[in-house]
Structure 1
Amino acid sequence: MKHFIVEINYLEPLARIQESVPAHRAYLQLGYDAGLLLCSGPKVPATGGFLLARAASLEALQAFFAEDPFSTEKLASFTFNEFQPVKRQDWAQDWFSAP
Protein backbone atom coordinates (compact mmCIF):
# COMPACT_ATOMS: atom_id res chain seq x y z
CA MET A 1 0.00 0.00 0.00
CA LYS A 2 1.02 3.58 -0.63
CA HIS A 3 0.42 6.24 2.02
CA PHE A 4 -0.80 9.79 1.48
CA ILE A 5 -1.59 13.01 3.23
CA VAL A 6 -4.62 14.43 1.49
CA GLU A 7 -5.20 18.18 1.77
CA ILE A 8 -8.62 19.65 1.08
CA ASN A 9 -8.96 23.36 0.32
CA TYR A 10 -12.41 24.92 0.28
CA LEU A 11 -13.43 26.79 -2.88
CA GLU A 12 -16.68 28.20 -1.49
CA PRO A 13 -17.61 30.17 1.66
CA LEU A 14 -17.73 28.16 4.88
CA ALA A 15 -21.52 28.52 5.17
CA ARG A 16 -21.92 26.66 1.86
CA ILE A 17 -19.35 24.04 2.88
CA GLN A 18 -21.20 23.34 6.13
CA GLU A 19 -24.34 22.42 4.18
CA SER A 20 -22.45 19.50 2.61
CA VAL A 21 -20.43 18.40 5.65
CA PRO A 22 -22.90 15.61 6.65
CA ALA A 23 -22.79 14.11 3.13
CA HIS A 24 -19.00 14.50 3.01
CA ARG A 25 -18.56 12.73 6.35
CA ALA A 26 -20.96 9.96 5.34
CA TYR A 27 -18.90 9.44 2.20
CA LEU A 28 -15.64 9.43 4.17
CA GLN A 29 -17.12 6.66 6.33
CA LEU A 30 -17.02 4.44 3.23
CA GLY A 31 -13.26 5.06 3.14
CA TYR A 32 -12.92 4.22 6.82
CA ASP A 33 -14.97 1.05 6.37
CA ALA A 34 -12.76 0.02 3.43
CA GLY A 35 -9.57 0.67 5.44
CA LEU A 36 -8.45 3.57 3.23
CA LEU A 37 -8.54 6.25 5.93
CA LEU A 38 -6.87 6.45 9.33
CA CYS A 39 -7.95 9.94 10.40
CA SER A 40 -9.44 13.15 9.05
CA GLY A 41 -10.50 16.57 10.22
CA PRO A 42 -10.85 20.25 9.42
CA LYS A 43 -7.99 22.73 9.40
CA VAL A 44 -7.89 25.45 12.04
CA PRO A 45 -9.02 27.95 10.88
CA ALA A 46 -11.60 26.10 8.77
CA THR A 47 -10.24 26.61 5.26
CA GLY A 48 -10.19 22.91 4.36
CA GLY A 49 -9.05 19.69 5.96
CA PHE A 50 -6.43 16.96 6.17
CA LEU A 51 -6.72 13.18 5.90
CA LEU A 52 -4.26 10.35 6.39
CA ALA A 53 -4.96 7.76 3.72
CA ARG A 54 -3.62 4.65 2.02
CA ALA A 55 -4.39 3.02 -1.30
CA ALA A 56 -2.90 0.68 -3.85
CA SER A 57 -2.10 3.68 -6.06
CA LEU A 58 -2.48 7.42 -6.33
CA GLU A 59 -5.01 6.88 -9.10
CA ALA A 60 -7.15 4.64 -6.89
CA LEU A 61 -7.18 7.25 -4.13
CA GLN A 62 -7.96 10.05 -6.58
CA ALA A 63 -10.86 7.99 -7.95
CA PHE A 64 -12.25 7.55 -4.44
CA PHE A 65 -12.11 11.28 -3.69
CA ALA A 66 -13.57 12.17 -7.10
CA GLU A 67 -16.88 10.84 -5.73
CA ASP A 68 -16.71 12.82 -2.47
CA PRO A 69 -19.56 15.39 -2.29
CA PHE A 70 -16.98 18.16 -1.81
CA SER A 71 -15.59 17.15 -5.22
CA THR A 72 -18.81 16.38 -7.08
CA GLU A 73 -20.33 19.68 -5.90
CA LYS A 74 -17.09 21.56 -6.75
CA LEU A 75 -16.77 22.84 -3.19
CA ALA A 76 -13.13 21.94 -2.65
CA SER A 77 -9.87 20.99 -4.32
CA PHE A 78 -7.81 17.98 -3.26
CA THR A 79 -4.02 17.64 -3.11
CA PHE A 80 -2.40 14.21 -2.66
CA ASN A 81 1.07 13.92 -1.14
CA GLU A 82 2.58 10.44 -1.01
CA PHE A 83 5.01 9.67 1.79
CA GLN A 84 6.84 6.68 3.24
CA PRO A 85 6.02 6.21 6.92
CA VAL A 86 9.18 4.91 8.57
CA LYS A 87 8.20 5.42 12.23
CA ARG A 88 4.82 5.04 13.88
CA GLN A 89 3.06 4.35 17.13
CA ASP A 90 2.84 0.63 17.92
CA TRP A 91 -0.97 0.77 17.91
CA ALA A 92 -0.93 1.86 14.25
CA GLN A 93 1.40 -0.90 13.06
CA ASP A 94 -1.35 -3.03 11.49
CA TRP A 95 -2.82 -0.14 9.48
CA PHE A 96 0.54 0.93 8.07
CA SER A 97 1.75 -2.62 7.40
CA ALA A 98 -1.32 -3.91 5.56
CA PRO A 99 -0.51 -5.17 2.07
Structure 2
Amino acid sequence: MACFTVETTYTDDRDALAAARPRHREYLARLVEQGIVAAAGPWADDSAGFAIYRVADRAELDRLLDEDPYTTEHVAAARTIHEWNVVLGTIG
Protein backbone atom coordinates (compact mmCIF):
# COMPACT_ATOMS: atom_id res chain seq x y z
CA MET A 1 0.00 0.00 0.00
CA ALA A 2 1.11 3.51 -0.78
CA CYS A 3 0.10 6.56 1.21
CA PHE A 4 -0.60 9.87 -0.53
CA THR A 5 -1.50 13.31 0.75
CA VAL A 6 -3.78 15.39 -1.43
CA GLU A 7 -4.42 19.09 -1.00
CA THR A 8 -7.28 20.32 -3.16
CA THR A 9 -7.56 24.06 -3.77
CA TYR A 10 -11.12 25.12 -4.52
CA THR A 11 -12.53 27.21 -7.31
CA ASP A 12 -13.42 30.82 -6.54
CA ASP A 13 -17.03 29.96 -7.41
CA ARG A 14 -18.38 29.51 -3.88
CA ASP A 15 -21.86 28.58 -5.16
CA ALA A 16 -20.44 25.69 -7.20
CA LEU A 17 -18.40 24.59 -4.19
CA ALA A 18 -21.46 24.63 -1.93
CA ALA A 19 -23.49 22.70 -4.51
CA ALA A 20 -20.85 19.98 -4.98
CA ARG A 21 -19.80 19.62 -1.34
CA PRO A 22 -22.55 17.18 -0.21
CA ARG A 23 -21.79 14.75 -3.08
CA HIS A 24 -18.04 15.12 -2.49
CA ARG A 25 -18.44 14.31 1.21
CA GLU A 26 -20.65 11.30 0.45
CA TYR A 27 -18.01 10.06 -1.98
CA LEU A 28 -15.22 10.46 0.57
CA ALA A 29 -17.35 8.86 3.31
CA ARG A 30 -17.62 5.72 1.15
CA LEU A 31 -13.84 5.73 0.71
CA VAL A 32 -13.39 6.09 4.48
CA GLU A 33 -15.69 3.07 5.02
CA GLN A 34 -13.55 1.09 2.55
CA GLY A 35 -10.34 2.06 4.36
CA ILE A 36 -9.04 4.04 1.39
CA VAL A 37 -9.25 7.51 2.93
CA ALA A 38 -7.74 7.78 6.41
CA ALA A 39 -8.76 11.39 7.08
CA ALA A 40 -10.13 14.34 5.12
CA GLY A 41 -11.46 17.82 5.63
CA PRO A 42 -11.19 21.48 4.65
CA TRP A 43 -8.67 23.93 6.05
CA ALA A 44 -10.15 26.19 8.73
CA ASP A 45 -10.34 29.10 6.25
CA ASP A 46 -12.12 26.87 3.67
CA SER A 47 -9.63 27.80 0.97
CA ALA A 48 -8.74 24.17 0.28
CA GLY A 49 -9.10 20.67 1.66
CA PHE A 50 -6.69 17.92 2.62
CA ALA A 51 -6.99 14.13 2.53
CA ILE A 52 -4.81 11.12 3.21
CA TYR A 53 -5.32 8.19 0.84
CA ARG A 54 -4.07 4.59 1.19
CA VAL A 55 -4.05 3.00 -2.25
CA ALA A 56 -2.13 0.41 -4.26
CA ASP A 57 -0.39 3.02 -6.42
CA ARG A 58 -0.62 6.43 -8.06
CA ALA A 59 -2.81 5.07 -10.86
CA GLU A 60 -5.48 4.06 -8.33
CA LEU A 61 -5.28 7.46 -6.66
CA ASP A 62 -5.67 9.22 -10.00
CA ARG A 63 -8.72 7.10 -10.83
CA LEU A 64 -10.33 7.93 -7.47
CA LEU A 65 -9.63 11.64 -7.88
CA ASP A 66 -11.06 11.56 -11.42
CA GLU A 67 -14.32 10.16 -9.99
CA ASP A 68 -14.53 12.71 -7.15
CA PRO A 69 -17.46 15.14 -7.56
CA TYR A 70 -15.05 18.02 -6.98
CA THR A 71 -13.32 16.92 -10.19
CA THR A 72 -16.40 16.05 -12.25
CA GLU A 73 -18.13 19.29 -11.22
CA HIS A 74 -15.00 21.41 -11.78
CA VAL A 75 -14.69 22.58 -8.17
CA ALA A 76 -11.06 21.44 -7.77
CA ALA A 77 -8.98 24.31 -9.12
CA ALA A 78 -5.70 22.54 -8.36
CA ARG A 79 -4.30 19.58 -6.46
CA THR A 80 -0.97 19.10 -4.77
CA ILE A 81 -0.17 15.41 -4.36
CA HIS A 82 2.71 13.81 -2.50
CA GLU A 83 3.50 10.18 -1.88
CA TRP A 84 4.10 10.06 1.86
CA ASN A 85 6.52 7.80 3.66
CA VAL A 86 4.93 7.46 7.12
CA VAL A 87 7.79 6.91 9.57
CA LEU A 88 6.14 7.64 12.92
CA GLY A 89 2.60 6.94 14.00
CA THR A 90 -0.08 5.07 12.11
CA ILE A 91 -2.66 5.93 9.49
CA GLY A 92 -5.80 3.98 10.17
Fold shared by both chains (TM-score > 0.5): yes
> Greater helix percent: which structure?
1
2:64 equivalent to 1:82: no
Residue 43 of structure 1 aligns with which residue?
A: 43
Q: Aligned pair count?
A: 91
Cα deviation 1:43-76 (Å, max 9, x = unaligned): 1211110001111001101101110110001110
* Higher gyration radius (CA): 1
Deviation at 1:30, TM superposition (A): 1.9
Q: 1:1-99, aligned counterparts within 5 Å? A: 1-76=1-76, 77-88=78-89, 92=90, 95=92
Contact 1:14-1:46 at 8 Å conserved across structures: no
List runs of 5+ in structure 1 lacking aligned partners: none
Q: Deviations over 1:29-49 (max 9, x none)?
A: 221122111111101211110
RMSD over aligned Cα, in angstroms?
1.4
Tell me, in whole angstroms, the C-alpha distance in 2 between the residues paired with 1:40 and 1:48. 11
Structure 1 contact 42–48 (Cα < 8 Å) conserved? yes
Most deviating of 59-68 and 13-22: 13-22
SS of aligned partner of 2:88 = coil
Q: Give aligned-pair identity as a percent.
A: 30
* Unpaired runs of at least 5, structure 2: none
TM-score by structure 2 length?
0.89
